[in-house]
Amino acid sequence: MRILLVEDDTPLAEAVCGYLRAKAFTVDVAGDLASARTLLVAARHEAVLLDLHLPDGDGLSLFGSLRGKDDRPIVIVLTARDQVSDRIRGLDAGADDYLTKPYDPEELLARLRAVERRRSASAGTTLQLGDVLIDLAHDEVRKDGRAVELTQKEWALLRVMAARPGRIHTRDNLQDALYGFDDEADSNTLEVFVSRLRRKLGRDCIQTLRGLGYRLVLESKDAS
């Protein structure tokens, strides 16, 4: 999942960014509304963590840039404003959830996952692909009942596909999920991570559709 964090408090942004990246999320950071709008146009983000008090205006004005998107990102408002009226205003503007500062990053992640589950087309938080069980709620993957160790990038790639099983994910969308603007990626790195996942989960679990992209195969059988 690629996340846009809109936060002008640099130490807080660095702390939240570090925590989420350690959990295999790709995070871009904007310190003001202008930068946030530019990043939203430049890449596809599945979630926006939005501070309200920004140097160039009210964070709620960013919702104008989100309306009309075919796949509108999750929006969680993060702010020091603790008045009920402010919370209502944020939710009425289109926020999916609201968290008051100071907050625990673990609670932020739990809320993000809860919204993701509500909006996901899949039923529940687990996905069964043959002998592979993917648990999105606990960031766990098991094959034949045994835990599968994945790197952060491998999990980030698997997570974005598992959140919408059966959907064709374009190369650009998967690259967006894996890399932020400050990251460098070789042209073939996506194929490398797909190959690694196939090796760990079973080579039939991820289907390549030439010219279109990749998708998880819901009925996966590892041919030997």
The bridge status of strand 26-30 relative to strand 2-6 is parallel
Angle between helices 189-201 and 152-162 (to 10 degrees): 80
User: CA distances (Å), 123 to each of 60, 163, 164, in order?
Assistant: 31, 10, 10
pLDDT digits (tens, 9 = 90+) for 4-24: 999 999 999 999 999 998 887
pLDDT digits (tens, 9 = 90+) for 195-224: 999 999 998 889 898 888 898 887 644 433
What domains does the chain contain, in order, with CATH numbers? 2-119 (3.40.50.2300), 126-216 (1.10.10.10)
Largest alpha-carbon pair distance within the chain? 60
Which uninterrupted H or E stretch holds 204?
none
pLDDT digits (tens, 9 = 90+) for 143-176: 998 999 998 888 888 888 887 777 888 888 888 7
